[in-house]
Amino acid sequence: MNSKIKNITTEVLSDDWYTLNKINFDYKLRNGNWVNQSRESYDRGNGATILLYNASKKTVILVKQFRMPSYLNGNKTGMMIESCAGLLDGDAPIACVIKEAEEETGYRIKNAVKVFEAYMSPGAVTEIVHFFIAQYDDSMKISVGGGLDVEHEDIEILEVDFKQALHMIKIGEIKDAKTIILLQYAHINKLME
C-alpha cells in the first residue's frame, strides 16, 4: 500500500475491446499537501514479446502487420515492423511467447529466455510486457505462420539481417518500442557475435 494515495474511486468508461477506467484519487505531494487527481487508465492485460535470432546467420525474425492506432497518428500505411508478441490471456509469459512465435512466425522454439519486463506506457496503460529472446534455425520452421485466421491476423514474416534491422531503427522503418528495445538488447549483449 502506498500511504500517499487515498480515496480511490473507479468509473468504467468503456469495456468493449479492453477496459478504460477513469480513476479519481487523492495524492499526497512531497510538501505534505493533498491534491485530488483524475486519470484514465487502459487495462488490456499483460503481454509478452520475443526476439527470434540466429547468431550464425546474423538474422532476426520480425513480423509486419497493420496497426490502426499508428495509422491514426501519422503512419501513412499503418503497417508496423515488430518483434513477435501477444497478450498473456491467462498463460504464463513463457507459454505465451512460445505460442505466439509459432502462430505468428511458424517457428516452434524451445529455448526462450526471459531477459526483463517493463511497463511500456505507465502514464495511461496498465500493461507489463515480459521480454524474451530465443535462438532459431531453419529446422524449427513448422508452418507458414502469419497469425490465426480466427483472429483475422494478416501477418507478414520477415527474416532480416541484424545490422539491417538496427539501421531500420535509425531510418524510422522500425518504430515499435518493444522491438527497438529487444534489438538494442541483442546489440548491447553481443548476441550476434
pLDDT band at 148 (very low <50, low <70, confident <90, very high): low
Element (H, E) at 178: helix 177-188
Residues 106-135 pLDDT 10s: 999 989 999 999 999 999 999 999 999 999
Could you read off the pLDDT of 68-95 as tens digits, one per residue? Answer: 999 999 999 999 999 999 999 999 999 9
Q: What average pLDDT does this structure show over 168-189?
A: 98
Using alpha carbons only, give the angle 172, 187, 117 rounded to the nearest 5 degrees: 85
**Bridge partners for 119 per DSSP:** 128
Alpha-carbon distance of 140 to 160, in angstroms, equals: 17
Give the 3-state secondary structure of residue 184: helix
The larger pLDDT score, comparing residue 126 to residue 146, is at: 126
CATH architecture type of domain 47-188: Alpha-Beta Complex (3.90)
The confidence band for 152, taking pLDDT boundaries of 50, 70 and 90, is low
All three cell numbers of 93, joined, read: 509469459
Residue ranges of the domains in the chain? 5-43, 47-188
Please give the pLDDT value at position 151: 66
Q: What is the dihedral of CA 158, 161, 163, 168, to 10 degrees?
A: -20
Predicted confidence band of residue 154 (pLDDT cuts 50, 70, 90): confident
